[in-house]
Structure 1
């Protein structure tokens, strides 16, 4: 368990950005009330109209998978951040690969329980899976979620012996907003600006592989739909507290594409048919290729954005994840 306090580095930079643009950050989105608008049922109700054959993936019950839920991984004042652990109980002489699974929901809604089926299935294959919660934009703005998830990675690494995992084989996987966050963790490992101040844990926040499921790579890319507030405030605008045009530097600062380079981990992209959810992907891969870093792209051309929550795409997604991790981490 990690105790944290706000990053003074980030607060200093934020003050400079605000001063530069002479605007106050909009905090109206911090309601203190959890936004429950994005649920699996809500997504299904919308998507089944165009995809009548889909079925929601429900939780599995595997005899060899042990589940430990609601574990405190970090404390911020009176706020306790929780995660769940799914691990295979069959004996293994070799420490296992860990997968940190980050839920989506536009940095504002969604819930870690939506990916329990994925965590259960991957645990059945031999991985140790962690599903952390993180502060959404109803509670705290960017980069609070980044601080939280890096604390989760540190927790996993610090407890490698207890969970029988290899601390050099930690993958981070995310869907939608979680995919963007997973990629961001991959490209900003141990970067002081985005670490937060962690007390009592000197573990690095490095991840060894990234799996981005329909998460954008850039908030300022021409293909990104974030920042269009014409028909209502966009998810990213809520998360940053600034419209894109009022503080483009901040929007660029929060984009994984801004940091991809020779230290970026191998990355798997699994995408739907929604083009705007691929924003920045090709540019990102070009940098990976230049640095001879392994990547894969798999695209379900007929799939809705929330495809990983449904059959028939769930099982192929699991197969892609497993084969990728076997390739880059040798499981």
Structure 2
């Protein structure tokens, strides 16, 4: 396992693997939500056996815009705080860097939302109660779904593409909100970004995939979780998009962890997880149509 892969494994484990009691879940592995270049795009589904609340939460399996497969029986514990509250969780993988670009990853996760909504009856979820969360690159993808989604591509020949990819709540951990300042031609680029092939992009190419560019009043309610000592994705990313949300009158909240860097442990991890679950309980408790 590479040093980057090890980092993201430890990071994900520390953030969301919080001991929690509750019912078991039914796991459906490798559900195919689309195809490209002859390959299947997949997600794993974790559905509570009982006391389901009818809402879905998508987790973006992404770190540095790398997306890796892990046995779902091993990752189940990461989602217990959500499944114990009755949420059905979808662990969504996208086309991984360096083979695929950030733009392609965004397109993939948009496809996943369309597919899950189109198959709401199959998954026994309410298509109007879909949340999304992720960490770092996964947080970026979550923000893109919260700010830059649409109501469907009306003239598409693919019926899935005609379904909306909008989400109803977002939680973004330590998330890049402005890829323009991370691009290779940006004077603000940090040297550490040279380790991430996905960021070998120009400022111009980065603009469409920068969530802060897309903020508008109809964006999903968004919770931002950020470490004040983060030297990989500085906290300014979260502060700036939070300010943009406030200006657009989007429901949002920023929780800053004073002593945390790019990832949380101990009490910070528990606090972040509790805040994430509470956000989804609050904003996915009933259909917006009700």
TM-score range, shorter chain: 0.7 to 0.9
Q: Contact between 1:115 and 1:131, CA under 8 Å: does it hold in 2?
A: no
Q: How many matched pairs? A: 275
| Partner of residue 317, structure 1 | 272
Q: Contact between 1:216 and 1:279, CA under 8 Å: does it hold in 2?
A: no
Q: Contact between 2:238 and 2:254, CA under 8 Å: does it hold in 1?
A: no
Give secondary structure in 2 for the equivalent of 1:75: strand
Q: Contact between 2:146 and 2:167, CA under 8 Å: does it hold in 1?
A: yes
Distance between the aligned counterparts of 2:85 and 2:8, measured in 1? 29
Residue of 249, 257, 272 corresponding to 2:212:
257
Q: Contact between 2:23 and 2:50, CA under 8 Å: does it hold in 1?
A: no
Q: Contact between 2:56 and 2:89, CA under 8 Å: does it hold in 1?
A: yes
| Partner of residue 159, structure 2 | 200
2:258 corresponds to 1:297:
no
Q: Contact between 1:134 and 1:149, CA under 8 Å: does it hold in 2?
A: yes
| Partner of residue 17, structure 1 | none
Question: 1:286: Cα distance to partner?
Answer: 2.2
Q: Contact between 1:119 and 1:130, CA under 8 Å: does it hold in 2?
A: no
Question: 1:233: Cα distance to partner?
Answer: 2.2
- Closer, same or farther: CA 200–74 of 1 in aligned 2, 3 Å: same
Listed one character per residue, the Cα deviations across residues 294-322 of structure 1 (whole Å, up to 9, x for unaligned) are 11112222223132xx4443332221012
Question: 1:234: Cα distance to partner?
Answer: 4.3
| Partner of residue 286, structure 1 | 243
Unpaired stretches in structure 2, ≥5 consecutive residues: none
* Structure holding more helix per residue: 2
Give secondary structure in 2 for the equivalent of 1:138: coil
Question: 1:146: Cα distance to partner?
Answer: 0.8
> How high is the TM-score relative to the length of structure 1?
0.72
| Partner of residue 97, structure 1 | 55
Residue of 186, 190, 203 corresponding to 1:228:
190
- Closer, same or farther: CA 291–97 of 1 in aligned 2, 3 Å: same
Distance between the aligned counterparts of 1:150 and 1:328, measured in 2? 20
Larger radius of gyration: 1
Listed one character per residue, the Cα deviations across residues 68-96 of structure 1 (whole Å, up to 9, x for unaligned) are 1111111114101111111112155xx52
- Closer, same or farther: CA 122–264 of 1 in aligned 2, 3 Å: same
2:203 corresponds to 1:248:
yes
Distance between the aligned counterparts of 2:16 and 2:39, measured in 1? 32
Distance between the aligned counterparts of 1:70 and 1:61, measured in 2? 26
Aligned residues: CA RMSD: 3.3
Deviates more, 1:107-116 or 1:280-289: 107-116
Listed one character per residue, the Cα deviations across residues 113-146 of structure 1 (whole Å, up to 9, x for unaligned) are 6864332331111111000110122221231101
Distance between the aligned counterparts of 2:157 and 2:189, measured in 1? 32
Q: Contact between 1:59 and 1:116, CA under 8 Å: does it hold in 2?
A: no
Unpaired stretches in structure 1, ≥5 consecutive residues: 1-34, 47-53
